[in-house]
Structure 1
Amino acid sequence: MPSTRQDAWTPDEDLLLAEVILRNIREGGTQLQAFEEVGRQLSRTPAACGFRWNSHVRKQYKAGIEHAKNQRKEGKKPGAYPEKNTPQNAVEKEGEEQEIEEGKPSFEFQSIISYLGQLYELAENSASNANGQKQLLERLEELEIENERLLAELNRVTEDYHSLMEILEKARAMAIGKDGAPQIQQKVKFQVDKFGNLERIE
């Protein structure tokens, strides 16, 4: 069974809804039958179809509704319908006509509850998405702070590296004799003074 749609209505869907409703009016059907028929074709609930009809589409087809009512009345002349004109049929038809003429939503209460449940789920999903977005923004801020800390640490390590390389270069220069040859035969000692500078001990 296809899942129930909850997306926005298109003009073509509104037109289909109006055509089915007007046909049901002409043929003496009920709104509920029309809503169920449209719902099956569009994978929507009868409650959603009824809500769309009464809140948006019906006011655009006032002239069409009156014309369909007139066609139905012409069709109800003696001999127009083949079924028996029993008192029970007359009561049922009268009730159906009254539902359509008054424009009252005739869909079942359970369908309304189902439709409201779908709206509630949509609202919950929207709130959940908002909370998820807030958590992602908070996590992004934490990562930015951590990135700044790591960059500062990298700069400090880089400075320490350059300082160490300078000390090693000075030691190498001091270890070489005046003639440019390494002084291998004697041990060379170094110390760091109170200012952090490397000096050779004679």
Structure 2
Amino acid sequence: MTAVRQDAWSPDDDIILAEVTLRHIREGSTQLAAFEEVGERIGRTSAACGFRWNSCVRKRYEDAIQIAKQHRQKRNYLKKQSSSVTAAPHVSSLSIVDEDSKSFKQDVISEESITIDGIIRFLRQWRGAYQELQRQVKLLEKDLLDRDEELSELRAENHRLNSEVTNAQTDYRTVNDDYKTLIQIMDRARRLAVLNEEDELKPRFKMDANGNLERIE
């Protein structure tokens, strides 16, 4: 049983989905068979592939779809033409019986010409489908380059912001250390001022001639 993946569709997944689906259309197969094949190749369910095709990918390949349908019609036409060529010996025998071999040869040549024209048109249409796929690939490659450039710019911006954060953290530590030092200096000054005030307010005494202590103002 194919596992269901929850990650986003990549450009390569979309290309695989488009190529397989267009091939099934050209060969006269069903889109359901195409979705099942794609699901097995990229590890998704056929329902997920069908939803992706109808909701997103199909819109980008409208021209290629029409070409694929024309290829399918041409394929059926060529099969019918091959059947007609296979039946030609019966016509030949009838022509010989009717002694009209010249007319028969002209009919055979006409059938061969039509078949060759059909093959030429088929190849031209195939070339058109191939060119369309090439165009889609170039667009995807351009989009990938744009995303790479955007990623490089984001990485450079991230590096710059990290540098600014590092510098800000360094400045903060420096300012914080200076602030602590200033607080310590102010605390020392406050304690010294308190000690000086206590020394000034402390009463002083001296002994008089009678041996008594006398306070000095």
TM-score of the two chains, using structure 2 as the length reference: 0.45
- In terms of fraction of residues, the more helix-rich structure is 2
TM-score of the two chains, using structure 1 as the length reference: 0.48
